[in-house]
Structure formats: C-alpha cells, structure tokens
C-alpha cells in the first residue's frame, strides 16, 4: 500500500527538500504531497495552543486528510487538528524541539512526534562566535560610521577599545549541541571556557576548562553566551542581579531564546557602562516592536533570529526527518521521538 506523506515546507526548509530526502530514504511506495507555509516572510506565532507555528489549523486539517505521516518545520499540530485527522500516525518536526506540536495531545491520539536536535548546531555556533567578535570589537558600528563618512579614531583610545575573544574568560550557559561546538571553537582561539549546565556531569564535558555554578561563571566571565533551552524553570534566568555580578566591561551574547534574558536590564547595563556590548539574535517579541529600547541603546549588535539559518541547516532538517520516517515505517526504534510510538 502506498504511504501518503505530507511535506509541509516553508520558504526555508522547502517542501522539495523534504520530498527529495524522503525519496532518497524510502524509494518508491510513497506518495508525497506538498504544502508551502508562509514563514519566514510572515513571522511565526501562536496557533491555538502551540507556539512558533506557521499556517493555520484549517489549512492543516485539509492537507492531512488521508495522510499517515507529516514532515514539517513550522506547521501546527493542535488538539483540533489531531481530532480531525485520525489517520495521522507520525508528525516529524525538523527543529531542535517540537514547540509547534501539542505532544501531550498527540500521545493521547496515538500520534508519534519526533524532532531534529542538532540540525542547526554548526550554523548557530558559528554565528554565535561571529556575534561575540562583532560586539567585542565594535565591527558593525565602525562599519556603519565609515559608510556614513565618519572616521572614529577615538575608538583607538584604551578606554574605548574592546577585548580579544582568545584572551577572554568566556562563560557558556548551557552545554548542548550548540554549546559544545562553541566551546570547541573558543578553545581553538585560546579562550578560557567555563560552563554552567545543571544537566551535565564533569566527566561528560570536553573542550572546557571548568564546569561551575552560575554565580561563579558570571563573576569570572568577560563574555557570557546563552545556550540553554527555554523552560518554565529558567525563564528570565539572567536579569539585573546576574548582569551586575559580571565584570565591568563585559559582553553578553544571546543566540538561544529571548525569554532567557531580561532585555531591559541589558539596556540599563549598557547605558551605565557596566556592560561594554551585547550581541542578540533572539528577542522577547519578534519582530522587535517600534519604540523598543533595543533600537536606540548603544553597544548592541543584532540579527533577526538568523543564527541557525544556513543552507546546510535546511538540508539537515529534511534529512533527519526523512531518516525518522524510514525508521518508523520499518518498525525500528526512533532516535528523536518525544512521544511513545503507538502505531507503525
């Protein structure tokens, strides 16, 4: 029997990428139907009870009729969709975590949800280190001033120059796939690397000088970079108190999730001069609203949630999802399931 699969792509992880990897993995015997979602031209948002999704429930209900398997990056999977699509068995999300899927409801409906951890680890780690260097050495600001016809020789004064990443003590908050790669890159530069992660043990940490508690990491680190997944427990974990504990003239980097960091406190610390610079790829509200202090506070380097955006990331997401579909159809254990396999 031909297996009906929906490839719900978007303008980053395209439907044709999913389709190509599915055919490479499975060959004949599948019927892949495509759907294109509007992200990232249209920002993702909350759809029903799930976050960071694109499209609509109505669109997915129509597209999933008669479908056993869906591969996607941004399509929503809500209680309403699950109720309306009883033939669905597997929902493979090409992201580090399936925030756009109601995994608890999926389990109740006998639908397995999988994800694609590590698919953007290289892209995000490279972007993170690039942001560190750009912020520490004022690269975007001096570029913009030169383009505007201003030569800022005063930036060569001792009190105005930045720090070398290779000579710094860098603290990484989180040691998952991205944090590990960032540590490896930084050790290549010669930096001293500290890590805080309550979920790892000292014997599992490599390319790191010390595994420490958060308060010690903040006290010692000239550069602090966030790499934790956002949870209820760690939301707002770096606020005014934590920033005040950092050395004067330090740099804050966040390419993880906006909810980890108090952005108002960052702006206050930049205005006071306690923090030299901040490099931010993620924000509490995306896009950044007009009138935000982030748009006017000096010393901030920003990119629009692009750290994980590379062509390799898109291909990795499709490849990991297709491999999970292959395992599912062959009755093999899944590598990245977040719900129990109920059928197959």
* Of the listed ranges 46-60, 190-204, 255-269, 327-341, the one predicted with least confidence: 327-341
Cβ atoms 170, 129 nearer than 8 A: no
Helix%, strand%, coil% for the chain, nearest 5: 35, 20, 45
pLDDT at position 343 = 43
Instruction: Please compute the mean of the pLDDT values over residues 120-148 and round it to a whole number.
Output: 97
Q: Residue 176: what are its φ and ψ, rounded to 5°?
A: -85, -155
Cβ atoms 338, 91 nearer than 8 A: no
pLDDT at position 1 = 74
Tell me the two tokens of residue 169: 């003590």
Give the predicted TM-score (pTM) of the model. 0.91
Q: Spell out the domains of the chain, with CATH numbers in brackets.
A: 3-117+310-330 (3.40.50.720), 121-302 (3.40.50.720)
Gap between the Cα atoms of 229 and 169, Å rounded: 23
Cβ atoms 116, 321 nearer than 8 A: yes
Catalytically active residues are 257, 286, 305
Cβ atoms 238, 264 nearer than 8 A: no
Gap between the Cα atoms of 8 and 76, Å rounded: 10
Gap between the Cα atoms of 310 and 289, Å rounded: 26
Inform me whether the pLDDT recorded for 341 exceeds 70.
Answer: no
Cβ atoms 204, 227 nearer than 8 A: no
pLDDT at position 342 = 45
Give the tens place of pLDDT for each residue, 32-74. 999 999 999 998 999 999 999 999 999 999 999 999 999 999 9
């Amino acid at each position: 029997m031909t297996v009906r699969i929906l490839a719900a792509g978007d303008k980053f992880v395209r439907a044709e990428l999913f389709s190509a990897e599915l055919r490479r993995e499975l060959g004949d015997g599948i019927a892949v139907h495509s759907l294109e979602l509007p992200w990232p031209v249209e920002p993702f948002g909350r759809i029903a009870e799930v976050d960071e999704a694109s499209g609509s429930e109505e669109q997915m209900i129509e597209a999933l009729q008669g479908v056993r398997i869906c591969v996607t990056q941004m399509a929503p999977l809500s209680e309403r969709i699950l109720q309306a699509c009883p033939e669905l068995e597997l929902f493979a999300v090409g992201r580090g975590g399936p925030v756009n899927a109601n995994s608890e409801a999926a389990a109740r409906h006998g639908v397995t949800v999988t994800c694609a951890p590590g698919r953007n680890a290289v892209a995000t780690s490279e972007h993170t280190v690039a942001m560190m260097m750009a912020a520490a050495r004022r690269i975007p600001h001096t570029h913009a001033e030169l383009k505007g016809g201003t030569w800022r020789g005063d930036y060569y004064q001792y009190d105005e120059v930045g720090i070398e990443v290779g000579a710094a003590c860098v603290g990484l908050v989180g040691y998952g796939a991205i944090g590990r790669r960032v540590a490896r890159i930084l050790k290549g530069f010669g930096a001293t690397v500290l890590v805080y992660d309550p979920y790892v043990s000292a014997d599992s940490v490599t390319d790191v000088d010390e595994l420490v508690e958060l308060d010690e990491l903040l006290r010692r680190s000239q550069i602090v970079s966030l790499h934790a997944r956002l949870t209820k427990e760690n939301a707002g974990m770096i606020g005014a108190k934590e920033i005040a504990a950092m050395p004067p003239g330090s740099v804050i980097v966040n390419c993880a999730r906006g909810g980890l960091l108090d952005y108002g406190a960052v702006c206050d610390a930049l205005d006071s001069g306690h923090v030299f610079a901040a490099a931010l790829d993620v924000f509490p509200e995306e896009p950044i609203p007009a009138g935000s202090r982030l748009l006017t506070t000096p010393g901030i380097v920003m990119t629009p949630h692009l750290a994980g955006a590379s062509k390799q990331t898109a291909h990795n997401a499709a490849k990991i999802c297709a491999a999970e579909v292959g395992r599912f159809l062959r009755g093999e254990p899944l590598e990245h399931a977040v719900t129990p396999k109920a059928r197959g």
